[in-house]
């Protein structure tokens, strides 16, 4: 059972030193939500920090404002720890110890879970982003977001809803954005920060991966690979390939998009997306993986060329005719 925002607000007001914990490899929602919450709590006189385990990604650094800290050994214990955008404290493994030192723990999240990990919890899987919940908490506390806070919340919602196109987007998402406009948000500037700070090496890797794309099964399957050699040639990291599978899916007629990532000589990670009717979870589970109907993945312990053959065969089987 969730606690109410009123209870959570009350508890927050009782503490002085408050640390916020987004999940590791944080995305726009994790950073935007914690940035906005931290700013509000500081405004209320709290000694508040957001703890992270590595520096912010380039496209999220604009939300820093001296709130995000990679803690060293002698950071003081907090009165209150708040996990944001994650309902498992294992999602920030390097910071678990500090998290647990708090007298009171709170969780605010929107992921589906049976877990109520903290002393006080507000977990709503119907919210498109943790940012929506932070906005509602602010409302409960009669705090109108500042321009900067509203921009962080916009970033949270915009990134987690895929620019308001993903199926998690609701009327509430847009209602909240309406109120963020009342705080004077500069949306084009936020958009430039989020989406127009792509590292050149990431762009090189994307272009290389897309130029090597192949179509199978009458153009219904698009597949490309990311090899270790491609990473060397472009200077990019494997995580720079995150958007390639979505880009493959935008091609007309493609029902299943597959990106095979060479993690080792016989260790291939397959990242897959389905467009409208196909089920890529069925492909993933055949190789011991899992996920959702439209987004799934698996690790294949075999050479790359064999992984290509096997996954195409399975994808053709799943598509039928």
Where on the chain is the footprint of a second copy (CB under 8 A)? 58, 158, 162-167, 169-171, 174-175, 177-178, 181-182, 187-192, 195-200, 203, 207-208, 210-211, 213, 215, 219, 249-254, 275-276
* Closer to a second copy by Cβ: residue 190 or 270: 190
* Closer to a second copy by Cβ: residue 79 or 149: 149
Closest approach, Cβ 35 to a second copy, in A, equals 19
Q: At what angle do helices 130-140 and 171-182 cross, to 10 degrees?
A: 60
- Residue 254's Cβ-count burial label (10 Å; 0-12, 13-18, 19+) is buried
Q: What is the dihedral of CA 287, 231, 233, 256, to 10 degrees?
A: 50
* Closer to a second copy by Cβ: residue 3 or 240: 240
Closest approach, Cβ 55 to a second copy, in A, equals 15
Closest approach, Cβ 90 to a second copy, in A, equals 31
Structural contact between residues 141 and 118, judged by C-beta atoms closer than 8 angstroms: no
DSSP designation for 121: E
Token pair, residue 276, equals 């409208």
First-to-last alpha carbon distance for the chain, in angstroms, is: 47
Closest approach, Cβ 240 to a second copy, in A, equals 12
- C-alpha to C-alpha distance for 117 and 106, rounded to whole angstroms: 8
* Closer to a second copy by Cβ: residue 73 or 188: 188
* Closer to a second copy by Cβ: residue 43 or 186: 186
Closest approach, Cβ 188 to a second copy, in A, equals 5
């Amino acid at each position: 059972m969730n606690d109410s925002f009123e209870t959570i607000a009350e508890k927050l007001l009782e503490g002085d030193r408050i640390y916020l914990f987004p999940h590791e490899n944080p995305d726009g929602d994790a950073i935007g939500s914690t940035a906005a919450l931290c700013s509000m709590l500081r405004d209320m006189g709290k000694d508040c920090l957001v703890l992270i385990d590595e520096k912010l990604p380039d496209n999220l650094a604009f939300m820093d404002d001296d709130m995000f800290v990679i803690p060293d050994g002698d950071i003081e214990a907090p009165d209150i720890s708040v996990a944001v955008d994650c309902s498992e404290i294992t999602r920030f493994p390097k910071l678990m110890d500090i998290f647990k030192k708090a007298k009171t723990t709170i969780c605010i999240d929107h992921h589906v879970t049976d877990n109520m990990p903290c002393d006080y919890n507000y977990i709503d899987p119907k919210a498109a982003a943790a940012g929506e919940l932070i906005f509602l908490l602010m409302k409960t506390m009669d705090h109108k977001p500042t321009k900067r806070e509203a921009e962080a919340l916009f970033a949270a919602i915009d990134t987690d809803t895929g620019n308001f196109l993903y199926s998690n987007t609701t009327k509430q998402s847009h209602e909240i954005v309406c109120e963020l406009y009342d705080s004077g948000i500069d949306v084009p500037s936020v958009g430039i920060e989020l989406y127009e700070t792509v590292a050149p090496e990431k762009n090189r890797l994307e272009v290389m991966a897309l130029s090597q794309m192949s179509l199978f099964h009458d153009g219904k399957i698009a597949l490309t690979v990311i090899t270790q050699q491609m990473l060397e040639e472009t200077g990019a990291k494997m995580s720079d390939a995150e958007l390639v599978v979505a880009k493959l899916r935008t091609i007309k007629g493609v029902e299943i998009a597959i990106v095979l990532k060479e993690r080792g000589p016989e260790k291939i990670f397959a990242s897959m997306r389905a467009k409208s009717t196909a089920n890529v979870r069925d492909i993933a589970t055949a190789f011991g993986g899992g996920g959702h109907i439209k987004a799934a993945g698996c690790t294949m312990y075999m050479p790359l060329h064999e992984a290509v053959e096997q996954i195409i065969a399975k994808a053709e089987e799943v598509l039928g005719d």
